[in-house]
Amino acid sequence: MEAMPGLSEILSELKAMGSARSREGMARYGINVERAGFAMIASLAVHDTKADDAVFEAYLPLIEREAGDDRNFVKKAVNWALRNIGKRNRRLNKLAVAAARRGEQQASRSARWIARDALRELTSEKGPSRLRK
């Protein structure tokens, strides 16, 4: 039995490039699905080694938009997704750092926290040396 109605469908849609329909589903089912969706993006960034960069690049606008959500579990999951995308390789690192820098400029306190935390990890001295090319 599913923990939440529609969870598997929404997570499937998120995996299929963060379509507009999946964003509507995330909003409809609330905090647990939003958290699960971003946690899945973070997990895919680490474990789906065959996925093309375009898959993760497509999630960045969604991450930037939802960074303003001040609910703690969503905020942490958004941050985790952004950091893991940025740790995938050098190209995605640059895109994630740029997204975080835009987040620093947002009015939302949550977005600024996410941006600062992600930048601390993605721009650290240790960070770039671990990245795949």
Q: Can you tell me the distance from the alpha carbon of 9 to that of 93, in angstroms, rounded to the nearest whole number?
A: 29
- DSSP type of residue 38: H
At residue 132, the 3 state secondary structure works out as strand
Which residue type sits at 104? Answer: E
Residue 89 pairs in a beta bridge with: 132
Query: What backbone phi and psi angles, to 5 degrees, belong to 52?
Result: -75, 150
Residue 124 neighbours by CB under 8 Å, 6+ apart: none
- Exposure of 58 by Cβ count < 10 A (0-12 exposed, 13-18 middle, 19+ buried)? middle
Side-chain half-sphere exposure of 26, counting CA atoms within 13 A? 25
Which tokens hold the place of 118? 């992600």
Judge if pTM exceeds 0.75.
yes
**Alpha carbons within 13 A on the beta-carbon side of 75:** 16
Q: For 12-57, how does the pLDDT look when each residue is reduced to its tens digit (9 = 90+)? A: 555 554 445 545 555 566 667 778 888 988 988 998 888 899 989 9
Q: Is the pLDDT of residue 114 over 90?
A: yes
pLDDT tens-digit readout, 75-108: 999 999 999 999 999 999 999 999 999 999 999 9
